[in-house]
């Protein structure tokens, strides 16, 4: 009969799970109250709020390729954080934009770049659109003065 002290036991304590501040965000809409839509002129506001949030939670490297990856973040944790950042993006854009940018296997950076291209490539078109809206509203503004 074998005694308990004859068995080999691993005496090292289990490693604690990795923690990252981004893991604590439960509702991104509390921090970014805008829903980005293709037909709104709020891209720069959404972008600023998102970048501030990503910086505050130390995941800016997931949407800004010039930001170095933090040291001490394991590959599995980095991939999990990338998925979280994608969830944040998907939760703050319209369903139309979601349908436009959603692709299996994309990183948060790839999704971010697609959204950026949609809005920044159309600056001239947006300027014309906004000018037309303003021009259409001008007669009604004159009548109220």
pLDDT in tens, 6-56: 555 656 666 556 766 676 667 878 888 999 998 877 899 999 999 999 998
Q: pTM for the whole thing?
A: 0.71
Q: Do 84 and 78 contact (CB within 8 A), yes or no? A: no
Q: What is the pLDDT of residue 94?
A: 95
Domain spans in the chain, listed from the N-terminal domain onward: 28-135
Greater pLDDT, 105 or 6: 105
Whether residue 95 has pLDDT greater than 80: yes
* Among 14-18, 107-111, 115-119, the least confident range: 14-18
Q: Is the pLDDT of residue 136 over 70?
A: no
Q: Does position 102 have pLDDT exceeding 90, yes or no?
A: yes
pLDDT at residue number 97: 93
pLDDT at 92 over 90: yes
User: What pLDDT was estimated at residue 14?
Assistant: 61
Report the pLDDT value the prediction gives residue 22, as an integer from 0 to 100: 72
Question: What is the per-residue pLDDT for 105?
Answer: 96
């Amino acid at each position: 009969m074998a005694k308990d002290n004859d068995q080999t036991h691993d005496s090292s304590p289990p490693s604690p799970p990795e923690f990252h501040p981004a893991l604590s965000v439960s509702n991104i809409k509390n921090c970014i109250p805008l829903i980005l839509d293709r037909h709104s002129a709020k891209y720069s506001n959404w972008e600023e709020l998102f970048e501030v949030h990503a910086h505050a939670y130390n995941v800016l490297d997931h949407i800004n390729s010039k930001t170095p990856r933090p040291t001490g973040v394991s590959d599995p944790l980095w991939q999990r954080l990338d998925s979280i950042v994608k969830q944040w993006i998907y939760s703050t854009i319209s369903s139309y934009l979601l349908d436009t940018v959603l692709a299996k296997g994309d990183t948060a950076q790839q999704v971010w770049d697609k959204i950026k291209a949609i809005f920044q490539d159309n600056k001239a078109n947006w300027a014309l659109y906004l000018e037309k809206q303003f021009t259409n509203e001008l007669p009604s503004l004159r009548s109220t003065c």
